[in-house]
Amino acid sequence: MLSQRLQYVNESATVSASNYVEKLKKQGIKVYNFGIGEPDFTTPQHIIEYAFEMAKEGKTHYTPSNGIHELREKVSEKLKNRNNINASPDEVLITPTKFGINLAMMVILNPGDEVLIPEPYYVSYPDIVRLAGGKPVTVSTLEDYSLDFDLMRKYVTPKTKAIIFNNPTNPTGKVYDEKEIKSLVDFALEYGLYIVSDEIYEDLIYNGKLISPASYSEMWGKSITLNGFSKGYAMTGWRIGYMAAPREIVEAANVIQQQTITCVSSISQYAALRALDDTESPKKMKDEFKRRRDLILSILDSSDKLNVTEPDGAFYVFPEYNSDISSNKVSEDLLEKYQVVVTPGSAFGRQGEHHFRISFATSEDIIKEGAERIIKFFASV
């Protein structure tokens, strides 16, 4: 008999969709795939070459479980210079990107502890909280996806331990401004809550700038910052990221890492080390994604059946539609009738219903043809 914890955990909607797309491609079916949450670029060549050279030099063994010192030191410098986060190398843990969220939850949660999750949310957050024995408490945001602190207060209980959120946000592309982050910090301090800040889309901001909760000195003791190289450097397959938090949190997370994956791939760590010297590649990717964002918005805006908000960051748009059918049904029909893959909005929480997520991390041809097919679909509904 399987573990009881699996009763409360679902498959990732985005990963499942990607797996299904691969199956269709093998059958020779052309698919217009807006479901994938990763850059369609190859990792910059100089990063690949450096990692290859390190492998040839014999850097193919276990590393310290918390990551090679050179990388932790360079991440520490990056956090200070770019994010105004004063984390020493000993307050940095090198860990696979998404696994860092799991580590954060396993370290701070006791069974039954509650975690506030603003909607719409990254699909994996609630299930990661459940896997750690916690209870996800999802809270609606305002119409523009700003945090609704009055509503959040109603959900705080003696068991509330943390808030987890994504900035820039998947699926909406919202970037929280300085005023809103300060309000979040004040809210967390008022109730003694941790802020778990997932900043994986940091390099892909078109409007505004990233403000890290951990940059507020009074919040540092209750902050866990998560980031990585997947989105800004097109390094999803390298599975490399980092956690920055007070030493007690990092040391505890490192113990769990020792007893699970031991350490991150040595070659991935050297690739990340080289990536941190490269500020140009993320800028070039961001410029290309901005061009694609503007392209898909120009097409979707021609439909009177869709309400599309311009995303400030990441590489998603999250259209709302005015037809009375579920987002799951929309997703199914778009795939079956028009060979278009989107992610149903309901995967991102109740507030996501009557929306769907489009990833514009794909080619211009796919964007043009796929978006036109979406418009035709809604015209026929």
pLDDT tens string 245-266: 999 999 999 999 999 999 999 9
112 CB neighbour count, 10 Å cutoff: 10
Domains and CATH numbers, the chain: 4-43+280-380 (3.90.1150.10), 61-275 (3.40.640.10)
In whole numbers, what is the pLDDT of the chain averaged over residues?
95
Question: Which tokens sit at 297?
Answer: 């918005």
- As a three-state string, the secondary structure of the chain is CCCHHHHHCCCCHHHHHHHHHHHHHHCCCCCEECCCCCCCCCCCHHHHHHHHHHHHCCCCCCCCCCCCHHHHHHHHHHHHHHHCCCCCHHHEEEECHHHHHHHHHHHHCCCCCEEEEECCCCCCHHHHHHHCCCEEEEECCCCCCCCCHHHHHHHCCCCEEEEEEECCCCCCCCCCCHHHHHHHHHHHHHHCCEEEEECCCCCCECCCCCCCHHHCHHHHHHEEEEEECCCCCCCHHHCCEEEECCHHHHHHHHHHHHCCCCCCCHHHHHHHHHHCCCCHHHHHHHHHHHHHHHHHHHHHCCCCCEECCCCCECCEECCEECCCCCHHHHHHHHHHHHCEECEEHHHHCHHHCCEEEEECCCCHHHHHHHHHHHHHHHHHC
The pLDDT of residue 265: 98
Taking the CA atoms of residue 262, residue 264, residue 265 and residue 266 in that order, the dihedral angle to the nearest 10 degrees is -100
Q: What is the per-residue pLDDT for 16?
A: 63
pLDDT exceeds 90 at position 20: no
Q: Does position 294 have pLDDT exceeding 90, yes or no?
A: yes
Per the structure block, which two tokens stand in for 324? 């009375």
Q: How high is the pLDDT of residue 227?
A: 98
Cis peptide before 282 (omega within 30 of 0): no
pLDDT digits (tens, 9 = 90+) for 176-205: 999 999 999 999 999 999 999 999 999 999
Q: What is the mean pLDDT of residues 16-25?
A: 69
* Cross-strand pairs, 165: 197
What is the reported pLDDT for 9?
A: 76
Planar angle of CA 355, 170, 124, nearest 5 degrees? 95
Rounded mean pLDDT of 276-280? 97
For residue 22, what pLDDT is reported? 72
Helices 69-78 and 266-275, packing angle to 10 deg: 30
Q: If you count them, how many residues does the chain have?
A: 381
- Tens of pLDDT, residue by residue over 148-169, are 999 999 999 999 999 999 999 9
Residue 15 reports pLDDT greater than 70: no
pLDDT band at 14, cuts 50/70/90?
low
**What tokens were used for 245?**
């938090």
Instruction: Give me 274's structure tokens.
Output: 């080289």
Q: What is the pTM of this model?
A: 0.94
Cβ–Cβ under 8 Å, residues 167 and 121: no
Given this model, what pLDDT does residue 18 score?
66
pLDDT of residue 27: 77
With contact defined as beta carbons under 8 Å apart, do 227 and 96 qualify?
A: no
Strand pairing report for 340-341 and 32-33: parallel
| Token output for 380 | 């026929």
**Mean pLDDT over residues 308-324, rounded?**
96
Q: How many CA atoms lie within 13 A of 156 on its CB side?
A: 17
Q: pLDDT exceeding 70 applies to what percent of the chain?
A: 98
| CA distances to 42, 81, 273, 335 from 94, in Å | 22, 19, 11, 38
pLDDT at 13 over 70: no
Pick left, alpha or beta for residue 63 (phi over 0 → left; psi -120 to 50 → alpha; otherwise beta). beta
Write out pLDDT tens, residues 36-83: 889 999 999 999 999 999 999 999 999 999 999 999 999 999 999 999
With a cut of 90, say whether residue 32 has pLDDT above it.
Answer: yes
**In this structure, what is the dihedral angle of CA atoms 165, 199, 98, 274, given to the nearest 10 degrees?**
-170
Instruction: Phi first, then psi: give them for residue 328, nearest 5 degrees.
Output: -65, -40
Phi-psi region of 300 (alpha: psi -120 to 50; beta: other; left: phi over 0): alpha
